[in-house]
Amino acid sequence: MNNLTTLEQEIFAKFSQLESKESLEKLKIEILGKKGTLSKLFQDLATIDKEKKKEFASQLNILKTRVLEQFSILHTKFEQEEIQKKLENQTIDISLSAPTKPQGKIHPVSQVIDELTCIFAELGFSVAEGPDIENQYNNFTALNTPPNHPARDMHDTFYLDEQKELLMRTHTSPVQIRTMLNEKPPLKIIAPGRTYRCDSDQTHTPMFHQLEGLYVDQNITMADLRGCLDYFLKKFFEVDQIKMRFRPSHFPFTEPSAEVDIGYEIKNGKITIGQGDQWLEILGCGMVHPNVLKNAKVDTKKYQGYAFGVGIDRLAMLKYGINDLRSFFDSDVRWLKHFGFNANDVPTNYRGLSK
């Protein structure tokens, strides 16, 4: 026990000599590292007689607690000293004149969200929002996704608990469910926001942006859906004509379902959207599945609806000639200076969205 008292005095004597956070970390390794002074004593407990072992272990734990407390106190002290030095040295001369031009830029994703909101507002859509962290019922079950569907697999989904009840939403479709549960039809909403999936390459990132559209009312048909998308695509790409086709597809939450392709051609090495002999997949859509409406407490005998989903990042890439999705999230000021928008460039349909 006397040895522990002496050891404590030696350790605290070293504490009093420390002058920086770096020296504190070195001392921490010396005392609590794998080969540290206290660590060795804990390893030696196995060799002590049982009668003395209990009392020695108790005193050793008390010493370790005191040492850890002192480490914490000194760590906080050195951090505060570093902050104080920075505050003293990094002063700002408020008498300096302001920059002649604004330095910040609006990110292309933010700009496109504003453009989409502007377009759909003219069609009577309001903006709805939901949380990034969702439960599996809203994200999958309520949207008619079977329990064994590949989309539920951990390779695609970021689950937050072992029971797989909470997850990072894989699409903005759960906002549909939340809106229909909280409001009565008719409903006409768009839901832009962040979504998350386990994927990363030139055209995929673990976090990306989607826009979900939903219209629920009486006597809604695929013709209404086609008219809405025709108007949206013309306005967004700022063209007078848009060549568009529906391809039969399958989504658990819509029936019938379709992929939408638009015509394009390549002129002088650039993609021209609207016309052409080549086709480009742009979004998925369909009539809301009756099971989804039932799960959201909507009377399927009275109401029908259509829904569509589109990737906001991909729209920005197509419209503004950005060839790598990952660059959206690199935080490169040079890239933002080139592709970004001035703060006053608020999208409006009457003067052109991107002008």
The pLDDT of residue 83 is 87
Predicted pLDDT at 242: 92
Q: Residue 24 has what pLDDT?
A: 86
pLDDT in tens, the chain (355 residues): 557 788 888 888 888 888 888 888 888 888 888 888 888 888 877 778 777 778 888 888 888 888 889 888 988 888 898 888 888 887 777 787 766 665 788 999 999 999 999 999 999 999 999 999 999 999 999 999 988 877 777 668 899 988 889 999 999 999 999 999 999 999 999 999 999 988 766 667 889 999 999 999 999 999 999 999 999 999 999 998 999 999 999 999 999 999 999 999 888 877 888 888 899 999 999 999 999 999 999 999 999 999 999 999 999 998 998 888 888 888 888 899 899 888 777 777 655 566 5
Q: What is the pLDDT of residue 18?
A: 84
Q: Please state the pTM of the whole predicted model.
A: 0.68
pLDDT at site 301: 94
**Number of DSSP helices (H) and strands (E) in the chain, helices first:** 11, 10
What is the pairing mode between strands 207-217 and 166-168?
Answer: unpaired
pLDDT for 155 = 62
Domain-by-domain residue ranges, the chain?
A: 2-89, 108-339
**Strand pairing class (126-127; 207-217):** unpaired
Q: Which residues face 189 on adjacent strands?
A: 126, 214
Q: Which SS3 state, helix, strand or coil, does residue 192 take? A: strand
Q: What are phi and psi of 157, to 5 degrees?
A: -120, 135
Beta-strand ranges (E) seen in 293-355 are: 304-311
Structural tokens at position 104: 């910040």
Do 249 and 257 meet the contact criterion of CB atoms below 8 Å apart? yes
For the chain, report the end-to-end CA distance as a whole number of angstroms.
80
Architecture of domain 108-339: 2-Layer Sandwich (3.30)
